[in-house]
């Protein structure tokens, strides 16, 4: 029976245990989107505590998809030097370094990007007080976004990351495409659920093509919009199965069209989605969301409801969470 501190090997990667730091924006990048020493230290200390997988905070793939002026970028070759130092620092602590790559779509702001805000359809869905009404993305705009994700994956590999994670949750661009609430397109990227999943599969294929088929690509998938009329679990599981068929190496379960907040179900609020997905896919399933107690994290793995547990805010509060958990579980 696997435990929180059993190693896990998949897709050419070996994790020393099942604890992950999920991507968490630190607000410490330069105005140009470059990595700073503070960002390196923020991730390094959590790796040094024994955390097996560090998924670095979301990095924008295209300026138009930049979420905040303190977000790191991976949109340009100029970003590679700083990202290389970050990946090296994580690796030196024995952790697997993954970079989350993202496009904010309607959750971007022209005040930050200097560019119009674009989304699958002209539907505002942000929780930020965003004065910009999004415009529908053109076909050329979609192609540009796909190309940007592919370029970002290749840059991450060049920088020394061992994997990338495509951000397809929390009402960011891909999540907007999957949701019936925000995708009202009439072309092949909209319509029924299968067509709303097309961009996910296109981005995954392009990223694998550009970075190399042996480079693991994870997907953080919003499994439920938590809104009336929005995406629900069963179609999201179908999308996940298609992503795995398309070569995704891991599915990171999340949810919420406007963020990953507790939908009112208490600690481990997305574990039920992970458990459902485990019945559908044969790649590792990671889950985060309100998990802070080491015994709960251990039980999630032991009961095979998920393979890897993400510890977000609890690890922000205690960078040593993994070491403390190992001691509490008698694994130190």
Q: Which residues bind ligand FMN (CB under 6 A)?
A: 22-25, 57-58, 100, 167, 169-170, 220, 254, 260, 288-291, 310-314
Integer angstrom CA distances of residue 293 from 48, 149, 185, 306, 328: 20, 35, 43, 15, 10
Across the strands, what pairs with 54? 21, 97
Q: Provide the 3-class DSSP secondary structure of residue 49.
A: coil
In whole angstroms, what separates CA 130 from the centre of its chain?
A: 22
Between 68 and 331, name the residue whose CB sits nearer to ligand FMN: 68
Smallest gap from Cβ 67 to ligand FMN, in A, equals 8
Between 182 and 254, name the residue whose CB sits nearer to ligand FMN: 254
Smallest gap from Cβ 23 to ligand FMN, in A, equals 4
Name the region of 315 (left: φ>0; alpha: ψ -120 to 50; beta: rest): alpha
Find, among 137, 139, 103, the residue nearest to 122 by Cα: 137
Smallest gap from Cβ 102 to ligand FMN, in A, equals 7
Smallest gap from Cβ 50 to ligand FMN, in A, equals 17
Smallest gap from Cβ 140 to ligand FMN, in A, equals 27
**Residues in contact with 233: Cβ distance below 8 Å, sequence separation at least 6, in sequence order:** 223, 224, 273, 276
Between 67 and 198, name the residue whose CB sits nearer to ligand FMN: 67
Between 11 and 314, name the residue whose CB sits nearer to ligand FMN: 314
Between 216 and 289, name the residue whose CB sits nearer to ligand FMN: 289
Q: Provide the 3-class DSSP secondary structure of residue 282.
A: coil
Between 118 and 286, name the residue whose CB sits nearer to ligand FMN: 286
Distance (Å, rounded) from C-alpha 249 to C-alpha 204?
A: 11
Structure tokens at 244: 């795995």
Smallest gap from Cβ 271 to ligand FMN, in A, equals 11
**Residues in contact with 316: Cβ distance below 8 Å, sequence separation at least 6, in sequence order:** 24
Smallest gap from Cβ 310 to ligand FMN, in A, equals 6
Cβ-proximal residue to ligand FMN, closest one: 312
Between 48 and 169, name the residue whose CB sits nearer to ligand FMN: 169
**Residues in contact with 46: Cβ distance below 8 Å, sequence separation at least 6, in sequence order:** 21, 54, 315, 319, 321, 322
CA triple 54-234-67, angle to 5 deg: 40
């Amino acid at each position: 029976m696997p435990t929180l501190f059993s190693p896990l090997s998949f897709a050419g990667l070996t994790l020393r245990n099942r604890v992950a730091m999920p991507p968490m924006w630190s607000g410490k990048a330069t105005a140009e989107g470059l990595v700073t020493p503070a960002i390196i230290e923020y991730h390094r200390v959590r790796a040094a505590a024994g955390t097996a997988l560090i998924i670095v905070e979301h990095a924008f793939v295209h300026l138009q998809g930049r979420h905040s002026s303190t977000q790191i970028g991976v949109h340009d070759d100029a970003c590679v030097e700083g990202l290389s130092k970050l990946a090296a620092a994580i690796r030196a602590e024995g952790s697997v370094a993954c970079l989350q790559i993202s496009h904010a779509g309607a959750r971007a702001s022209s005040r930050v990007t200097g560019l119009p805000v674009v989304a699958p359809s002209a539907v505002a869905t942000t929780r930020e007080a965003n004065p910009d009404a999004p415009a529908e993305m053109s076909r050329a705009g979609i192609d540009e976004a796909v190309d940007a994700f592919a370029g970002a994956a290749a840059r991450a590999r060049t920088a020394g990351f061992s994997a990338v994670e495509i951000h397809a949750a929390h009402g960011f661009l891909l999540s907007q495409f999957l949701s019936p609430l925000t995708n009202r397109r009439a072309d092949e990227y909209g319509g029924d659920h299968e067509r709303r999943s097309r961009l996910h599969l296109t981005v995954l294929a392009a990223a694998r093509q550009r970075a190399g088929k042996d480079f693991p690509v994870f997907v953080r998938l919003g499994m439920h919009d938590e809104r009336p009329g929005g995406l629900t679990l069963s179609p999201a599981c179908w999308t996940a199965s298609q992503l795995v068929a398309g070569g995704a190496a891991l599915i990171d379960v999340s949810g919420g069209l406007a963020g990953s907040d507790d939908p009112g179900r208490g600690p481990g609020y997305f574990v039920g989605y992970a458990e459902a997905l485990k019945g559908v896919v044969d790649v590792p399933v990671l889950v985060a969301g309100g998990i802070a107690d080491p015994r709960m994290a251990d039980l999630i793995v032991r009961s095979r409801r998920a393979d890897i547990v993400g510890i977000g805010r609890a690890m922000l509060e205690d960078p040593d969470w993994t070491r403390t958990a190992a001691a509490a579980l008698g694994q130190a």
